[in-house]
Amino acid sequence: MCSAAKPLHGVLPVLQTPFTDAGEIDERTLQREIDWAFETGADGVVVAMVSEVLRLGYRGRLRLAELVCETAKDRGSTVISVGAESTAEAIEFARHAEAIGASAVMAIPPVATNLSADATRDYFSAIAGSISIPLVVQDASGYVGAAIDLGVYLDLLEQFGSERILFKPEASPLGPNLSKLRDATDGQARIFEGSGGINLVDCYRRGIAGTMPGTDLLDGVVALWRALSEGDEDRIYQLSLPLSAIVALQLQAGLDGFLAIEKYLLKKRGIFTNTIQIPPTAWQIDEETRAEVDRLFKRLQAAL
């Protein structure tokens, strides 16, 4: 069972899902990834978009959530992505996550339907009302779906309170939108940033409760989070510049850019045995991008 004793906070990396040559979840490699995350200083682990949840299928999503909670145990928080195209299915995923001991769930709105603000609010309200653990309301419109209206956030916070509703706003411009949410709630909103680290310095200064980066650059993000908490300005930029440059390369190809480069770096670290993604994909890392990632990764490791 996963621990839910402490509020979500700090560095919560989003897990990449490793696969065997046969296309099944590679359970041994997943355990190695989670173990490495906690050994590196993660405060918890997350199953979300770069875990390929939109491509895993119903049974695959349930199985991945179970494996993550079984492996994480009481070492930190566990957040399971439950967003779906129907409210009923999202509720089913959420109840399953709570039953297996997840600390919290996270959801994006449906991506196939352009919902009104009222319909978006009702969708999240139904999920939150079906469980007793916190719900992280995720706006992933930087690469999938539509932006969530600020009024939706405010309504949900008023209905459920700041212990039950958390936020991961990713609509551009990220920093100013984060500040709008912070100010509109008089600082009550607990906000997590999910830019992979490229906006972490800016967002930290705006008062976030934590960050949800990829697992591939976790050592750099943990060190950067500590430098931010200590106010070490030289260390902050020594770490953030190469880290941000790698994430900039990921961003240029959207979700598939994160998938391809993160899996490449996890294999380079010896954590993953391959870079298999669930097809179809729109982009794969090319040789010139790989060479630039290698140069930047070497600089980040030198800074560490």
pLDDT score for 223: 98
pLDDT score for 8: 96
Which residue segments constitute the domains of the chain, with CATH numbers given? Answer: 10-229 (3.20.20.70)
pLDDT score for 261: 98
Which residue, 242, 238, 260, 169, is CA-closest to 206? 169
Tell me the CA distances in angstroms from 11 to 209, 261, 262, one per residue in order. 9, 20, 17
Q: What is the mean pLDDT of each run of 10 residues along the chain (304 residues)?
A: 69 98 97 98 97 96 98 96 97 98 97 93 98 96 81 97 96 93 96 93 98 98 98 98 97 93 98 97 96 98 96
Backbone angles phi, psi at 14, to 5 degrees: -85, 125
pLDDT digit string, tens, across residues 132-166 = 999 999 998 767 777 899 999 999 999 999 999 99
pLDDT score for 141: 78
pLDDT score for 211: 98
pLDDT score for 1: 45
Q: How many residues does the chain have?
A: 304
